Amino acid sequence: MAQVRVLTGDRVTLRQPRLDDADELFAAVASDPEVTRYVTWMPHPDVAETRRVITELFNKGKERTWLIELRDTGEVIGTCGFRVVQPHLREFGYVLGRRWWGQRLIAEVVDLLIAEMESDPKVRRIAAVCHVENTRSARVLERAGLTLEGRLVRHTVFPNIGTEPQDVLQFGKAVE
Ligand SMILES: CC(C)(COP(=O)(O)OP(=O)(O)OC[C@H]1O[C@@H](n2cnc3c(N)ncnc32)[C@H](O)[C@@H]1OP(=O)(O)O)[C@@H](O)C(=O)NCCC(=O)NCCS
C-alpha cells in the first residue's frame, strides 16, 4: 500500500487509512445508502467489506486515498482522494458521513487535497465529475475554484441509481 502524507487543516486532518479505522468508517460512512447514492460503489453490507476495501483498494495503483478525521474529537468522518488519470491530470472525489454534512468541512478537505495535488510539478489539470442532481457536490466544486465545463451525457453508471449510465457535470481547473 502506498503511503499518503498527513494534511492538516483547522478542523480536519487527512491521513493514511488504517485497518483499525474499518469499524468507524463502516458505521458512519460506508454503510449509509444516503452517502453512497451519488458514488460509484454500493453501501458496504458489513464491516468485512470495509476492511477489504482498506487493504485491497485504498492506495493501490494510481489511486490515493486519505481518511478524514475531525481534529476536535478524532472521529472518522469520511474519505477523499484522487486518481492519476495521466501524468498531468488528477481526478478527485470525497465522501462525508451524513451527520457531518452542512458544516462546510468538505471545503477545507478539498482545499487541502487541491494543494497536495498542485504540489506535484507534473500536475497541470485538476478535475472532478458529479451526478447532475448532486447539487451539494457541484457547489463544493464551484466554491473550491473549479469551473463547470459542461454536461457529459450518459457518462457514468451509478449502481445505487440503476444500470443506465447517467449524465454528469464536468468540473476542471488549470494549474499554471
Ligand atoms: C458532497 C458532500 C461532501 C458535501 O458536503 P456538505 O457538508 O453537505 O457540504 P457543504 O456544507 O459545504 O454544503 C455544500 C453546498 O450544498 C448546499 N446545500 C445544503 N443542503 C442542500 C440540499 N439539500 N440541496 C442542495 N444543496 C444543499 C449548501 O448550502 C452548500 O452550498 P453553499 O456553499 O452555496 O452554501 C456530502 O454531501 C457527501 O458526502 N455526500 C455523499 C457523497 C458524495 O456525493 N460525494 C461526492 C461525489 S461527486
Predicted local confidence at residue 50, as pLDDT: 98
Q: What is the pLDDT of residues 76-130, one digit of tens each?
A: 999 999 999 999 999 999 999 999 999 999 999 999 999 999 999 999 999 999 9
Task: Please provide the average confidence, as pLDDT, over all residues in the chain.
Answer: 98
pLDDT of res. 24: 98
| Residue 83 identity | R
**How many other CB atoms are found less than 10 A from the CB of residue 96?**
23
> What is the position in ligand 1's atom list of the atom closest to the CA of 130?
48
168 pLDDT tier (thresholds 50, 70, 90):
very high
Residue 33 is predicted with a pLDDT of: 98
β-pair partners for 66: 80
Ligand 1 center from residue 133 Cα (angstroms): 11
The C-alpha atoms of residue 82 and residue 117 are separated, in whole angstroms, by: 8
CA of 109, closest atom in ligand 1: 3
pTM across the whole model: 0.96
Say yes or no: CB of residue 137 within 6 Å of ligand 1. Answer: yes
At residue 4 the predicted structure's pLDDT band, cuts being 50, 70 and 90, is: very high
pLDDT of 95 reads 98
Pocket test for ligand 1, best of 76, 136, 140, 148 (most atoms within 8 A of CB): 136
Mean of pLDDT values over 67-76: 98
Q: Closest ligand 1 atom, CA of 136?
A: 16
Determine if ligand 1 sits within 6 Å of the CB of residue 175: no
Centre of ligand 1 to C-alpha 139, Å, is 7
Q: Pick the atom of ligand 1 nearest to 131's CA.
A: 48
pLDDT tens string 131-140 = 999 999 999 9
Q: What is the pLDDT of residue 115?
A: 98
| Integer Cα distance of 58 and 1 in angstroms | 7
Closest by CA to 171, choosing from 118, 94, 92, 71, is: 92
Burial class (CB in 10 A: 0-12, 13-18, 19+), 3: exposed
Burial class (CB in 10 A: 0-12, 13-18, 19+), 160: middle
pLDDT value of residue 73: 97
Please give the single-letter amino acid code of residue 31. Answer: S
**Hey, what amino acid is at 151?**
R
Nearest to 69 by CA among 125, 15, 123: 15
Rounded Cα gap, residues 15 and 73, in angstroms:
15
5 lines ligand 1 (CB under 6 A): no
pLDDT at 75: 97
Q: How far is the CA of 121 from the centre of ligand 1 (A)?
A: 30
Q: Residue 28: count other Cβ atoms within 10 Å of its Cβ.
A: 19
Distance, in Å, from the CA atom of 18 to the CA atom of 51, rounded to the nearest integer, reads 9
Q: Tens digits of per-residue pLDDT, 137-156? A: 999 999 999 999 999 999 99
Q: For each of the domains in the chain, give its residue range(s) and CATH number, in order of start.
A: 7-126 (3.40.630.30)
* Cell, residue 94: 470525497
